[in-house]
C-alpha cells in the first residue's frame, strides 16, 4: 500500500491572457483544478472566462494578425526556439505540475514534457522551411509557383489528458505559420496550460498573438467556433464534442480538424515474442492510467497462446503499484477526476453485465489515503465478444478487453469492427502476418512489435473513421492545416502569346 504524497503547494491563481495582459475572467464560474491523487487538495483556481472575455481575445488576436503575418517565418520560429530553451529550463517543475494536476505519474509526466519540447523544436525548424513549390508551366517564360499564407485567427481547444504535449503540437504550427491564436485548455488542467502561455510571453511573443481563455466549454466553447473572425479550429477531445465542433465549423465553411477517440486493438500472434508483447500490452493498456486516445483497450489473442498470455497480463496488472502521481515507484496513477472514475466503474459494471469474464481488478482503490483520490485497479476482462459495449465504446481508463481468435482473418475482422480507427498494434515475428494486417487495418497509425501508443513530431498523427476528421496533425500536415497556398502565375514574356492554354 502506498500513501498519498502531498506536494506542498500554494494554490495557483490563474488568469486569462488577453491581448498580452493577464486579466481576471468575468464569467459566472470559478474553475478549480483538483489534485486527482488527493481530491482534498485544490491546486489551482481561476475565475472563468465570459463571452465578453472571449470577445476581447478575438479582437486582440484579430488586431495582432497583420503584424504577425508580416513577421518573417524564420523570425516567428525564433520565438519557438526560445520557448524550447525555456521549457528545458523548467521541465522538472512543469512535469511536477503535470503530475499534480492531471495525475500522470512523474516519469510519464516528464516523458510528456519531452514530447512537447520535441514538437516545439520540430516546428521551430519549419519556420525555415515554410515553403511553397514551383512547377513547370506549359508555356515558356512563365513561372508557376505557390507561397503559403496563414489563415488568420484560429481556435485551439485541447483536452486534459496531454495538457502539455497537445497544446504544443497545435500552438507551434499555428504560430510558425503566422496565425494568431485563441487557446482554450480543458477546465480540469488549466494550470499547466497557463504555464505554457507564460513561456511564450517570456520568449517575447508579441501581444495578442497568443490569447488564453479558461472557461466552461458550455459557456465559451461555441463562440470559439462560431465567431466570424475565427478561420480554423483545431480540437482534440471526445467524439461527442468533436462532432459538435465539426458541425458548427462546417456550417461556417471554415477549416477544422478534430482528433477524437479510439478503441485500439493489439493483436498478439502465436509466434510473438511474448515478453516483448507483454511489455507493450501493459504499457499500452495501463500506461497513463489508460487515459490516452491511443491506449490499448482491446487485446486480440491467438487461441493457442491465449491462456498462457492472459495469465501473464493478469500477473503484471496485479503487480502494479497504485498510488499518487508524485509518489515513489508508482506504476499507476489516478483517473483525472470523479467523473472519469465513475465512467471507468460504469464500464466495468457494463462488461460484467454483458457477460465478459473479470480476471482481475474491477474496483476503486480506497486503502488509506488513496480513498481521497480517484484510483481504479487495472482491470482485465477475458472472453469478450465484438458486440459487447466494452468492445465498442471508449472507456478512457485502465480497462482491457481480451478476445480469442482462431485465424488471422478473424483477428483482423475483430480489430476493424468498431466505429474508431486511430491506431493498432501487432506482435509477430512473421513479416507476412504483419503486412497482411497492415493492408487491411482501418487505422491512421500502425505499430509492429510496439505498443499502440505514442507519436513523433516528424510523422502525421491521427486516425480514420470515428477517430478523426480533417487534416492529420504533427509533421508537415500541421503546417498545411494552419496555412493555405496561394498560386502565382508570373508571365515574363512581355508580349502577347499565341497560346490557347488560358
Q: Which residues are catalytic?
A: 259, 293
Distance, first Cα to last Cα, the chain: 77
HSE-CB for 294 with a 13 A CA cutoff: 21
In the bound state with ligand UN1, the residue whose beta carbon lies nearer, of 74 and 460, is 460
Residue closer to ligand UN1 by CB (options 213, 293) is: 293
Q: E strands along 42-101, which residues?
A: 42-47
Beta bridge partners of 427: 268
Give min distance, CB of 111 to ligand UN1, in A: 9
Residue closer to ligand UN1, measured from CB, 314 or 425? 425
Residue 308 has, within 13 A of its CA and on its CB side, a CA count of 12
> Is the Cβ of residue 120 or residue 166 nearer to ligand UN1 in the bound state?
166
Q: How far is the CB of 159 from ligand UN1 (least distance, A)?
A: 6
User: d(Cα 69, Cα 438) in Å, to the nearest integer?
Assistant: 41
Q: Which is nearer to ligand UN1, 19 or 454 (CB)?
A: 454
In the complex, the smallest distance separating the C-beta of residue 292 from ligand UN1, rounded to whole angstroms, is 3
Sites of contact with ligand UN1 (CB under 6 A)? 159, 161-162, 166, 236, 259, 292-294, 453-455
Q: What is the nearest approach in angstroms of ligand UN1 to the Cβ of residue 343?
A: 15
**Per-residue DSSP letters for 3-55?**
PPPPP--PPEEE-EEETTEEE---SSPEEEEE-TT-TT-EEEEEEPP-HHHHH
**Cβ distance to ligand UN1 smaller for residue 399 or 408:** 399
Q: State whether the Cα torsion 225-121-91-320 is positive or negative.
A: positive
Please state the closest distance from residue 105 (CB atom) to ligand UN1, in A: 14
Give least dist CB 426 to ligand UN1, A. 17
Which of 442, 439, 400, 406 has its CA nearest to residue 424? 442
The three-state DSSP-derived secondary structure of 374-386 is CCECCEEEECCCC
d(CA 276, CA 425): 12
Q: In angstroms, rounded to a whole number, what is the distance separating the alpha carbons of residues 224 and 232?
A: 9
Query: Which whole-number Å values give the CA distances from 117 to 13, 32, 296, 485, in the listed order?
Result: 25, 27, 25, 28
Measured from the CB atom, the residue of 74 and 454 that comes closer to ligand UN1 is: 454
Question: CB neighbours of 179 closer than 8 A, spacing ≥ 6?
Answer: 65, 68, 150, 151, 152, 153, 154, 231, 232, 482, 483
CA atoms within 13 A on the CB side of 467: 26
Q: What is the smallest separation between the CB atom of 284 and ligand UN1, expressed in angstroms?
A: 9
For residues 127 and 262, which CB has a smaller minimum distance to ligand UN1 in the complex? 262
Read off the DSSP letter of residue 185: -
Minimum distance of ligand UN1 from residue 291's CB (angstroms): 7
Q: What pairing do the DSSP bridges indicate for beta strands 464-465 and 420-421?
A: antiparallel
- The Cβ-side half-sphere exposure at 108, using a 13 Å CA radius, reads 29
Amino acid at each position: 500500500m502506498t500513501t498519498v504524497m502531498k506536494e506542498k503547494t500554494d494554490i495557483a491563481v490563474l488568469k486569462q491572457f488577453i491581448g498580452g495582459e493577464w486579466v481576471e475572467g468575468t464569467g459566472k464560474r470559478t474553475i478549480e483544478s483538483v489534485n486527482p491523487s488527493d481530491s482534498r487538495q485544490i491546486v489551482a483556481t481561476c475565475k472563468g472566462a465570459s463571452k465578453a472575455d472571449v470577445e476581447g481575445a478575438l479582437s486582440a488576436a484579430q488586431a495582432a494578425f497583420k503584424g504577425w503575418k508580416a513577421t518573417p517565418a524564420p523570425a516567428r520560429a525564433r520565438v519557438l526556439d526560445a520557448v524550447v530553451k525555456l521549457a528545458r529550463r523548467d521541465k522538472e517543475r512543469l512535469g511536477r505540475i503535470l503530475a499534480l494536476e492531471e495525475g500522470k505519474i512523474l516519469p510519464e509526466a516528464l516523458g510528456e514534457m519531452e514530447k512537447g519540447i520535441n514538437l516545439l523544436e520540430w516546428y521551430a525548424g519549419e519556420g525555415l522551411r515554410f515553403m511553397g513549390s514551383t512547377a513547370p508551366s506549359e508555356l515558356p517564360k512563365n513561372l508557376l509557383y505557390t507561397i503559403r499564407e496563414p489563415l488568420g485567427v484560429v481556435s485551439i481547444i485541447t483536452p486534459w489528458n496531454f495538457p502539455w504535449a497537445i497544446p504544443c503540437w497545435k500552438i507551434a504550427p499555428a504560430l510558425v505559420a503566422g496565425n494568431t491564436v485563441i487557446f482554450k485548455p480543458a477546465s480540469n488542467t488549466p494550470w499547466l496550460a497557463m504555464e505554457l502561455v507564460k513561456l511564450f510571453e517570456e520568449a517575447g511573443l508579441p501581444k495578442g498573438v497568443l490569447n488564453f481563455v479558461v472557461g466552461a466549454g458550455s459557456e465559451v466553447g461555441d463562440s470559439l467556433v462560431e465567431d466570424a473572425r475565427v478561420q480554423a479550429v483545431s480540437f482534440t477531445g471526445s467524439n461527442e464534442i468533436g462532432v459538435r465542433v465539426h458541425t458548427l465549423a462546417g456550417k461556417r465553411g471554415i477549416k477544422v480538424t478534430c482528433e477524437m477517440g479510439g478503441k485500439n486493438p493489439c493483436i498478439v500472434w502465436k509466434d510473438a515474442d511474448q515478453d516483448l508483447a507483454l511489455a507493450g500490452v501493459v504499457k499500452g493498456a495501463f500506461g497513463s492510467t489508460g487515459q490516452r486516445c491511443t491506449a490499448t483497450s482491446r487485446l486480440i489473442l491467438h487461441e493457442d497462446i491465449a491462456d498462457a498470455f492472459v495469465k501473464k497480463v493478469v500477473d503484471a496488472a496485479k503487480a502494479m503499484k497504485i498510488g499518487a502521481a508524485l509518489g515513489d515507484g508508482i506504476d499507476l496513477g489516478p483517473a483525472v477526476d470523479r467523473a472519469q472514475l465513475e465512467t471507468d466503474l460504469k464500464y466495468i459494471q457494463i462488461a460484467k453485465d454483458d457477460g465478459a469474464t473479470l480476471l482481475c481488478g474491477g474496483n476503486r482503490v480506497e486503502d488509506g489515503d488513496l480513498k481521497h483520490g480517484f484510483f481504479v485497479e487495472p482491470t482485465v476482462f477475458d472472453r469478450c465478444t465484438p458486440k459487447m459495449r466494452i468492445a465498442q465504446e471508449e472507456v478512457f481508463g485502465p480497462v482491457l478487453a481480451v478476445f480469442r481468435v482462431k485465424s488471422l482473418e478473424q483477428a483482423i475482422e475483430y480489430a476493424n469492427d468498431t466505429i474508431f480507427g486511430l491506431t493498432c498494434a501487432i506482435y509477430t515475428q512473421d513479416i507476412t502476418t504483419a503486412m497482411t494486417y497492415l493492408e487491411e487495418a482501418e487505422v491512421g497509425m500502425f505499430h509492429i512489435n510496439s505498443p499502440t501508443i505514442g507519436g513523433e513530431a516528424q510523422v502525421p498523427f491521427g486516425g480514420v473513421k470515428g477517430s478523426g476528421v480533417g487534416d492529420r496533425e504533427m509533421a508537415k500536415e500541421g503546417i498545411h492545416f494552419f496555412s493555405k497556398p496561394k498560386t502565382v502565375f508570373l508571365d515574363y514574356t512581355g508580349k502577347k502569346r499565341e497560346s490557347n492554354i488560358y
